[in-house]
Structure 1
Amino acid sequence: MKLRQIILKVISILVLLPILYVLIALLCSSITIDREIKSETADKTIYLTTNGVHLDVVIHKSDLSKQLLLGLKKRYTDQYFSFGWGDENFYINTPTWGDLTFKNAFSAMFLKSTTLMHVTRYRLKGTDWVEVKVTASELELLNNYLQNTFRLDKNGAKVILEDQGYTSIDDFYKAKGSYSCFKTCNSWLNTGFKQSGMKACLWTPFDFGLMNKYE
């Protein structure tokens, strides 16, 4: 095979792979994993919120387990806590999309990396949050999923990154796992919903995948 043909073949593969990824992601996002049938009443409320790319789950302080709440930075006025997960380098060095670089994006998507939990505290409920009704059992499982994502120190405490939050109401904590194009911030939360027995996508790297199931 001539060198020119090899180069064209490689280029074709490089062009087709992202297209194939998006098509598979859209298909898997459209497939719904139904909520497990339970005898309990879904009388608890949590919320989904997005910045347009990154999806977070928001839980009222009274619905957080003692274990999950323990070690979180908080004030007495904080009523809601949002939780997100993602690549450490991307979180810290890309506070806005204007700060996005090819190096940071490539590293997050394809290289093994450390991750963080991003916790934001609110006094009031957001007007654009999407309401999700859950049972007490589902809420307990989701609390456990979130707690188990935090990486703890040798004393069993959450590890906060001091003075690394974007604002005065958000903080970063060390987390378990490695980010990739197959395990994104949004697929992480989707997995949490599935493992909690809640309605979710088969798989989704996008924020709208899970959000569309509840809007």
Structure 2
Amino acid sequence: MFGWLALIVGLYFLAGWVGSSIPANREFTESADGVEIIVGTNGVHTTIAMPLRNADMDWTRIFPPSDTANPWRNYTHVAIGWGERAVFLNTPTWGDLSPLTVLRVVSMGGDALYHVEHWVRPAPSPDFRTIRISRAQYRKLVRALLRDLPERTPTRAVYPGYTDQDVFYDARGTYTTYKTCNEWTGQTLRMAGIRTGAWTPFAGSVMKWVPPFDPAYVPDGAPDRVPGK
């Protein structure tokens, strides 16, 4: 039994490596004068960050800083990630992750949430890398990010985050071993026309397609700090 289990796990990782090695949107090139986004990772989970406001989108209309416990900071960026509800809400640290939760998610899947963080002048780093995309691609990215957000109502639920600068919202979709949080990131990038893997179930599956961090690069605006959790 353990041998078969090891084989299944090994095949899953192999399939993830193969799927993420097949390029989607291979003709993509960075735009010289477009919108700078950030693809970030904590080693397990990935997120997409964008300017809080620009000519194409004002994210404060969708994710107002007033939903956070610290709405008074001069936020410049919003970071959006998608994941499994129980994992997001009940595991502020990886040490809090229950084996039973992992087993349930792997075997049955789970409802989804959006994790939304507000950042102030995030500084690029090896784990938070920039991509400059065209405005047309950015508008596609916005539409892709909004696709899993339920229609907003006056009583939309807001769940406290890990810090005073992040919160959770209900999201459409079901987390599965196929559609993981990182495959959601990859799918979102693919829908915007950005080059990434055809299937990206792991954080590394996403990040291997993002241009490496250049310490000499100066991002838009004055960098403040590397984003937190």
TM-score range, shorter chain: 0.7 to 0.9
Cα RMSD (Å) of the superposition? 2.1
Structure 2: give runs of 5+ residues left out of the alignment.
66-70, 213-229
Give the conservation status (yes or no) of the 8 Å contact 1:120–1:170.
yes
Contiguous gaps of at least 5 residues in structure 1: 1-9
Aligned to 2:156: 159
Over 3 Å counting, the alpha-carbon distance change for 1:197 and 1:184 in structure 2 is: same
- Is 1:94 aligned to 2:75, yes or no? no
Partner of residue 226, structure 2:
none
Render the CA deviation track for 1:59-104: whole Å, top value 9, x for unaligned. Answer: 01124624x4323131461111100000000101111111111111
Query: 1:41 deviation in Å?
Result: 5.6
2:135 corresponding residue in structure 1: 136
TM-score by length of 1: 0.85
Per the TM alignment, residue 125 of structure 1 is displaced from its structure 2 partner at its CA by: 1.4
2:12 maps to 1:21? yes
How far apart, CA to CA, are the structure 1 residues paired with 2:87 and 2:25? 32
Change (3 A) 1:141 1:69: farther
> How has the CA–CA distance of structure 1 residues 109 and 126 changed in structure 2, closer, same or farther, with 3 Å as cutoff?
farther
1:30 to 21, 32, 50: 21
Q: Tell me which residue corresponds to 1:5.
A: none
Q: Which residue of 1 aligns with 2:207?
A: 211
Q: Which amino acid aligns with 1:104?
A: T
Q: Does residue 85 in structure 1 map to residue 85 in structure 2?
A: no
Q: Distance in 2 between matches of 1:86 and 1:208?
A: 16
Q: Which residue of 1 aligns with 2:40?
A: 49
User: How many angstroms does 1:13 deviate by?
Assistant: 2.3
Alpha-carbon contact 1:46-1:59 (below 8 Å) kept: yes
User: Which position in structure 1 is the counterpart of 2:53?
Assistant: 62
The answer to whether the 8 Å contact 2:34/2:133 transfers is yes
- Please give the TM-score of this superposition, normalised by the length of structure 2: 0.80
Structure 1 residue 35, shift from structure 2 partner: 4.1
Q: In terms of Rg, which structure is larger?
A: 1
2:181 to 176, 185, 204: 185
Question: Helix, strand or coil for the counterpart of 1:124?
Answer: coil
Is 1:121 paired with 2:121? Answer: no
Q: What is the CA–CA distance in structure 1 between the aligned matches of 2:145 and 2:155, rounded to whole Å? A: 12
**Is the contact made by 1:151 and 1:159 (CA closer than 8 Å) also made in structure 2?**
no
Work out the number of aligned pairs and report it.
201
Residues 109, 177 of structure 2: 8 Å contact kept: no
Q: Percent identity?
A: 26
Partner SS, residue 108 of structure 1: helix
Distance 2:140 2:46 in 1: 19
- Name the structure 1 match of 2:144: 145
